[in-house]
Amino acid sequence: MRRPNRGGDFPERTRQSPLPNLLPSFTPNQQYQLQNHTNSPTQQQQQFPFDTGCGLSMDSDPIGSFFLHKPIVLNSFPEDTNHPKWKLTPHNNMDTIPFQVNLSRSPNNHHSPPPPLHNTTEMDFFSDNTNNINHNVSSSASNHHHSTTPPTLEFKLNTGLNLLTANTSSDQSMVDDEISPNSEDRRAENKLAVLQAELERMKRENQKLRDTLHQVNVNYDALQMHFMNLMQQKGEEVEEQEVIGGKSEEKKQGESGGVLVPRQFMDLGLATNADTDEPSSSSGGRSQDRSGSPNAEVASKELGSSMNENVNDEGCDKEKKEYGRGVESEDSPSGHAFAGDKVPRFSPQKSNVEQAEATMRKARVSVRARSEAPMITDGCQWRKYGQKMAKGNPCPRAYYRCTMAAGCPVRKQVKNEVVFINPIFGTWNKQVQRCAEDRTVLNTTYEGNHNHPLPPAAMAMAQTTSSAARMLLSGSMSSADSIMNANLLTRALLPCSSSIATISASAPFPTVTLDLTQSPNPLQFPRHPNQLQIPLQGIPHNFSNSPASLMPQIFGQALYNQSKFSGLQMSHDADPSQFGNHPQQVPPHLTDTVSAAIAADPNFTAALAAAITSIIGGAQQHNNSNNTNNNGNMTLSNSTGNGNITSSTNTNEKQ
């Protein structure tokens, strides 16, 4: 089943250059003709190569590609693009003169432009700076797309641009220019020549930037693909392990007809098959009763048996339950699978990507933050569908699901924790200066990926979930990756806080817990042995004084940024401690730049280009200063052989 929105759950990030487009472009599908307004002798039909009248000769190859041959000696190029004599107008002007093109040139012309017509040495106009520009145009003269904009404006077709420049310059030929007796005109011509040269230089520079940006995009795609491949491989490894380890359990549940499938695989299977068109209610007894489908359970078991045959003879009742309920937990790229909250569940054939994504979907991102508000405003629309009283907690736990799109699988839990800190351990909050018993911690847990475009305000959290899930997916597989991801997570956040991020790979769901409550005392929040806690440099200390609604966006964006930049930053991943815990000490490059760039420009690629420039520019100075070791240093060590991760932190918050 297609899942186009996976990873792309969010609005497509266009990859437009942040730089002004200095390259020429024609209006697509617009036919242009060269119009002579003065009935000059040039009204005669011309054939290639011909003089464009601006010091450029023009040629074309058999496929209609145009070549301009520009003499080194530049002549007058009046800036008046509306020169009364030559004008390019759209083809719909029937009064214009057709722009005749002889296309029967030698095929060698494409790479070997014909000899110049003029006396000066000619150069390949595209040889050095426009190699990547598509200068193929229609083979018909009438299809010769030509911009009517001045040459300094947008254009993507150099031929058209320069032709325009030439045509708008004058009806005088080069020879005419050279014999001009007017010295003032010559000065103007020289000035124009300089400007023209500058224009060419800018075009070359722009082309280089575009090439660089293109390369960045390519690299980014490659990194993304590589990351996905790694996740797939790791998922397969875990799957194999679970298959081996689950034999006994399989035997145990086999008697009751249960079908065991490795969790990871089952997730996918249950989540992605739309072909069975199985109602979600089929797996839940209660739902069966309410749906009035007496055969639902039988059908479900049959499907399970079928799956047993097709897949790996295992099952996960819990997953089946979850997905059978409509869930929710699966996002459909096509969107139809979520209509009515009914999700077909079984699919014996799953791509590795889907498997990895399904596993990722189970990952959770939990945010602990102090807030007086009942719920974090994260930009999404949520509908409460349940509430439970948690044992030992006077505050109920609320369950929300995203209602921004029908069938959106994203859910969140909001737990209003009452935090009691034992003053014996000296865990009074020195910043807040409040009694520990007064504090309430808002614990918001997100799960799933949105299957719909998100508003900018909601992008951060959604991307946080996605990014964190990806990190969990890899981090839960090996300690080394966990450390790497933890480091990435740390680096993702702005360097001004000692908040704790906990990565838990324990069952049932891997969870990233971002603790924004600033509780450095490990006794306050006992850690799971498989948890990795990292001081998050970037979360404001006094969160209670910060709008809680902003926090998920802050770290969400940062985490998302980090996930995108991980490949880049890892290459020069310096000691995070060098950033210190003081914003004023933060190096201006890197994190701040990235965050600022992306914050300023929703276009990720644009920000990426800006950030890369910054990173590259700041890498050297970064390397020169990365020996500094301050408080807030993060030391990670893998002290166990079973994949458990322990960490030791050395933050100035630790007491």
Partner DNA sequence: CGATTTTGACCCGCGC
Partner DNA sequence: GCGCGGGTCAAAATCG
Q: Tokens in use for 40?
A: 């000059």
Instruction: Give me the amino acid identity at 162.
Output: N
Q: Is residue 252 at the binding interface for DNA, with CB under 7 A as the rule?
A: no
Q: How many other C-beta atoms lie within 10 A of the C-beta of residue 131?
A: 10
- 403 forms part of the interface with DNA (CB under 7 A): yes
Q: Total binding residues for DNA by CB under 7 A?
A: 38
Which of 129, 232, 280, 649: binder of DNA (CB under 7 A)? 280
Stretch that binds DNA, among 130-138, 345-353, 395-403, 464-472 (CB under 7 A): 395-403
User: What is each CA distance from 649 to 158, 185, 500, in whole angstroms?
Assistant: 58, 74, 10
Contacts made by residues 50-53, CB under 8 angstroms, sequence distance 24+: 50/117, 51/117, 51/118, 51/173, 51/174, 52/162, 52/163, 52/166, 52/167, 53/86, 53/166, 53/167, 53/169, 53/170, 53/171, 53/172, 53/173
Select from 136-144, 396-404, 422-430, 434-442 the region that touches DNA (CB under 7 A): 396-404
CB of 340 to DNA, least distance (A): 9
Among 156, 361, 411, 450, binds DNA (CB under 7 A): 411
**233 contacts DNA (rule: CB under 7 A):** no
Query: Which residues in the 508-547 window bind DNA by CB under 7 A?
Result: 508
Cis (ω within 30 of 0) for the bond into 508?
yes
Min dist CB 96 to DNA, Å, is 55
Nearer to DNA, 424 or 507 (CB): 507
Q: Does 383 bind DNA (CB under 7 A)?
A: yes
308 binds DNA (CB under 7 A): no
Under 8 Å between Cβ of 21 and 133? no
Please select the residue that binds DNA; options are 4, 107, 257, 386, rule is CB under 7 A.
386
Q: How far is the CB of 508 from DNA (least distance, A)?
A: 7
Token duo for residue 588: 């201006």
One residue of 49, 55, 151, 326 binding DNA per CB under 7 A: 326
- Give the 3-state secondary structure of residue 382: strand
Question: Residue 226 or residue 318: which is nearer to DNA going by CB?
Answer: 318
- Binding flag, residue 126, DNA (CB under 7 A): no
Give the nearest distance from C-beta 519 to DNA in angstroms: 21
- Burial call 331-361: b when 16+ CB within 10 Å, e when fewer: bbbebebbeebbbbbbbeebeebbbbbbbbb
Helices within 369-419 (DSSP H only): none
The window from 159-167, 183-191, 277-285, 301-309 that contacts DNA (CB under 7 A) reads 277-285
Task: Read off the tokens for 78.
Answer: 């009046």
Instruction: Assess 413 for contact with DNA (CB under 7 A).
Output: yes
Instruction: Closer to DNA by CB, 51 or 242: give it.
Output: 242
Q: At what angle do helices 317-324 and 296-310 cross, to 10 degrees?
A: 130
Stretch that binds DNA, among 95-103, 197-205, 379-387, 435-443 (CB under 7 A): 379-387
Establish if 391 lies at the interface with DNA (CB under 7 A). yes
* 315, 321 Cβ separation under 8 angstroms: no
Q: Minimum CB separation from DNA for residue 436, in Å?
A: 22
Does 322 interact with DNA (rule: CB under 7 A)?
A: yes
β-strand pairing of 396-402 with 633-637: unpaired
Among 111, 208, 226, 384, binds DNA (CB under 7 A): 384
Binding track, positions 131-170, relative to DNA; x by CB under 7 A? ----------------------------------------
Check residue 380 for interaction with DNA (CB under 7 A): no
Residue 161 tokens, joined: 């641009």
Given a contact cutoff of 8 angstroms between Cβ atoms, the answer to whether 90 and 26 are in contact is no
Structure tokens at 164: 């325009």
Per CB under 7 A, the list member of 317, 573, 575, 601 interacting with DNA is 317
Q: Is 280 exposed, middle or buried (0-12, 13-18, 19+ CB in 10 A)?
A: buried
| Selected range binding DNA among 139-147, 175-183, 381-389, 630-638, rule: CB under 7 A | 381-389
Nearer to DNA, 109 or 531 (CB): 531
Q: Which is nearer to DNA, 107 or 374 (CB)?
A: 374
User: Within 10 A of 411 (CB to CB), how many other CB atoms are there?
Assistant: 20
Is 299 a binding residue for DNA by CB under 7 A? The answer is no
Out of 91, 135, 156, 325, the residue judged to bind DNA by CB under 7 A: 325
CA–CA gap between residue 454 and residue 653 (Å, rounded)? 36
Q: Considering the complex, what minimum distance in angstroms separates the CB of residue 455 from DNA?
A: 14
- Does residue 575 interact with DNA by CB under 7 A? no
Enclosing H/E stretch for 476: none
The token pair at 227 is 């990351």
Query: In the complex with DNA, which residue's Cβ is closer, 175 or 390?
Result: 390
Residue from 397, 528, 622, 654 binding DNA (CB under 7 A)? 397
| Cβ atoms within 10 Å, residue 172 | 17
**Binding range to DNA, per CB under 7 A, among 60-68, 101-109, 168-176, 278-286:** 278-286
Which of 388, 430, 434, 582 touches DNA by CB under 7 A? Answer: 388
What gap in Å lies between CA 499 and CA 651, rounded to an integer?
A: 10
In the list 285, 547, 602, 617, the residue contacting DNA (rule: CB under 7 A) is 285
The conformational region for residue 285 under phi > 0 = left, psi -120 to 50 = alpha, else beta, is alpha
If one asks whether residue 271 binds DNA (CB under 7 A), the answer comes out as: no
Of 367, 360, 361, 364, give the one whose Cα is nearest residue 553.
367
CB of 146 to DNA, least distance (A): 50
User: Is residue 546 classed exposed, middle or buried when 0-12, 13-18 and 19+ CB atoms within 10 A define those classes?
Assistant: middle
Cα separation of the two ends of the chain: 52
Smallest separation, CB 459 to DNA (Å): 19
Query: Cβ–Cβ contacts within 10 Å for residue 113, how many?
Result: 23
Is 61 an interacting residue with respect to DNA (CB under 7 A)? no
CB atoms near residue 78 (< 10 Å):
16
Contact indicator for 598, 605 with CB cutoff of 8 Å: no
The residue among 246 and 576 lying less far from DNA, judged by its C-beta, is 246
Residue selected from 104, 286, 526, 642 as contacting DNA according to rule CB under 7 A: 286
Query: Is 345 an interacting residue with respect to DNA (CB under 7 A)?
Result: no
Structure tokens, 508: 């049932």
Position among 159, 281, 482, 502 found at the interface with DNA (CB under 7 A) = 281
Interaction site with DNA (CB under 7 A):
280-281, 283-287, 289-291, 317-318, 320-322, 325-329, 341, 381-388, 390-391, 397-399, 403, 411, 413, 508
